[in-house]
């Protein structure tokens, strides 16, 4: 989380709440600690206050970085809860259709200067890319934008000044 103070960006509080809930589900927090941390997360007035709620919890972020090459993940691969993808001139293709995804919701942060990103989702999955900012590109989604109970949901955020994002279901 960047910045120590200021208005909390949309979704940031939700991500902290999910981290706390996941820590409880994994057995790292007891019921009392879950309730205490959720209360702190829901009443936090700054990024700093929000960050302290989860400062001691593992973040499970994987960084995929390339300067000019293509970043591709397909087949049977382990998808982390959070992916941070950064590329100066390359493209990104993340195929989740055969991947092992142990989470109901995953977050992907894209930082692509020139180049696009393609997401291929398993049947029934949904994705929200409202947090993606482009200048000369576009965001195209062929999957539902609202989360569906019991199905994978992918939240995509980031900046692509000269690139586009395509989200589609796997072909049968």
CA 20 – CA 18 distance, rounded (Å): 5
Provide the token pair at 162: 């000269």
Is this structure's pTM higher than 0.75?
Answer: no
CA 67 – CA 52 distance, rounded (Å): 33
In the sheet that 92-95 helps form, which strands lie side by side, from edge to edge?
71-73, 92-95, 117-121, 165-169, 139-141
Residue 123 confidence (pLDDT) = 93
Low-confidence ranges of the chain (pLDDT < 70): 1-10, 59
What are the backbone angles phi and psi of residue 43, rounded to the nearest 5°?
-110, 0
Residue 9 confidence (pLDDT) = 64
Residue 10 confidence (pLDDT) = 57
Residue extents of the structural domains in the chain: 12-54, 61-169
Residue 28 confidence (pLDDT) = 84
């Amino acid at each position: 989380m960047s910045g120590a103070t200021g208005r909390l960006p949309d979704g940031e509080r939700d991500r902290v709440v999910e981290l706390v809930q996941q820590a409880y589900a994994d057995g790292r927090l007891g019921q009392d600690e879950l309730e205490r941390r959720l209360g702190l997360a829901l009443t936090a007035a700054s990024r700093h206050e929000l960050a302290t709620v989860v400062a001691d919890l593992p973040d499970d972020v994987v960084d995929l970085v390339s300067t000019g090459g293509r970043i591709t993940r397909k087949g049977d691969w382990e998808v982390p809860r959070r992916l941070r993808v950064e590329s100066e001139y390359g493209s990104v293709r993340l195929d989740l259709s055969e991947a092992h995804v142990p989470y109901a919701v995953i977050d992907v942060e894209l930082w692509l200067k020139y180049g696009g990103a393609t997401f291929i989702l398993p049947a029934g999955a949904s994705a929200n890319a409202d947090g993606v900012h482009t200048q000369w590109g576009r965001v195209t989604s062929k999957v539902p934008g609202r989360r569906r109970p019991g199905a994978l949901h992918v939240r995509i955020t980031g900046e692509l000044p000269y690139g586009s994002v395509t989200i589609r279901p796997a072909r049968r």
